[in-house]
Amino acid sequence: MKLSKKSTLLAPTYTGATAGFVAFLFLGAIPGLLYGGYMGLMMTASLFGTPVEPTMMAKMVTGGGMLIGLVSSLFFFLVMGALAGTVAGLPFMPLLKSIATRSEQREFAPVAVRK
């Protein structure tokens, strides 16, 4: 298996981001939609007045708010997961650097030519 130094050192960050994505699926998607929908309704109420009529434009603004809430929740969980993975991987960095260096040395080792 070919390991580059960059990919080996970024392994804890990618692992944390993956854990953050899984946490988003279980913990962040529904609240993101809920609070985003509330934000969209508040924007609709301020733009078109209250009570909010169920017009196409009001539905689009509310749906856009839901999308903004979902995406912002996703970014939060991904960044916090990557940060947690990086911090958790810091004690293992010397080990990861030695693995990456050893892998690069094997890759560039001279090969004996048989005649």
For 29-83, how does the pLDDT look when each residue is reduced to its tens digit (9 = 90+)?
999 999 999 999 999 999 888 888 888 998 999 999 999 999 999 999 999 999 9
DSSP state of 113: P
28 located within any domain: yes
110 located within any domain: no
> pLDDT at residue 91 above 80?
yes
111 located within any domain: no
Q: Tell which wins on pLDDT, 105 or 77.
A: 77
Domains in the chain, number: 1
Q: Tell which wins on pLDDT, 84 or 104.
A: 84
pTM of this prediction? 0.76
CB–CB of 12/92 below 8 Å?
yes
pLDDT of residue 115: 63
109 located within any domain: no
9 located within any domain: yes
Specify the residue for token string 């960044």: 79
Question: Using N-to-C axis directions, what is the helix angle for 11-23 and 56-89, rounded to 10°?
Answer: 140
**Cα distance between residue 84 and residue 111, in whole Å:** 42
Q: What is the residue range of 11's domain?
A: 5-104
Which percentage of the chain shows pLDDT scores above 70? 83
Compute how many other C-beta atoms are within 10 angstroms of the C-beta atom of residue 62.
Answer: 21
